Amino acid sequence: MGKELLAEGGSMVVMILECVPTVLRGELSRWLTPVGGGVHVGQVSTLVREELWKLALNKAGKGRVIQIWSCRGEPGYGLRVHGLVDATLVDLEGLPMIAVRDAAWRKAMERFTGKAPHENMPEAGEDLGSS
């Protein structure tokens, strides 16, 4: 059986980094544990989580950043993204999801909204979830 390391206080945070400068990974590793492949996890306060997000936005350049954190209520986590290409963050009946903008997405958007989506449609918000 593996070891379990549990921290007290704060909320669980996961940050996923893709195509970002090495300096950002290094700075995040001061607060979160790198567990492999651009994935960092940790337990931090809301203030630290917000500051880490600001840091990621400032240093990500053209890279992608996803931040997920535990919170009260349904679905039990919040989600926000930066740098998505051909995808968008959507709220599907209270569940935050990343939808790939392909033919199936366009068809589903038409079915659910009654109108065709725009090609240059902006991302559906950068933050889905509560603190």
Tell me the H-state helices in the chain: 22-28, 46-59, 103-113
Calculate the average pLDDT of the chain: 82
Domain residue ranges in the chain: 11-128
* pLDDT tens, position by position, 51-62: 999 999 999 999
Residue of 77, 75, 57 whose CA lies nearest to 65: 57
d(CA 96, CA 90): 6
User: Residues 35-40: what's their mean pLDDT?
Assistant: 95
Instruction: Tell me the one-letter amino acid at 113.
Output: T
**Using a CB cutoff of 8 Å and minimum separation of 24, what contacts does 108-116 make?**
none
For the domain made up of 11-128, the CATH class stated in words is: alpha beta
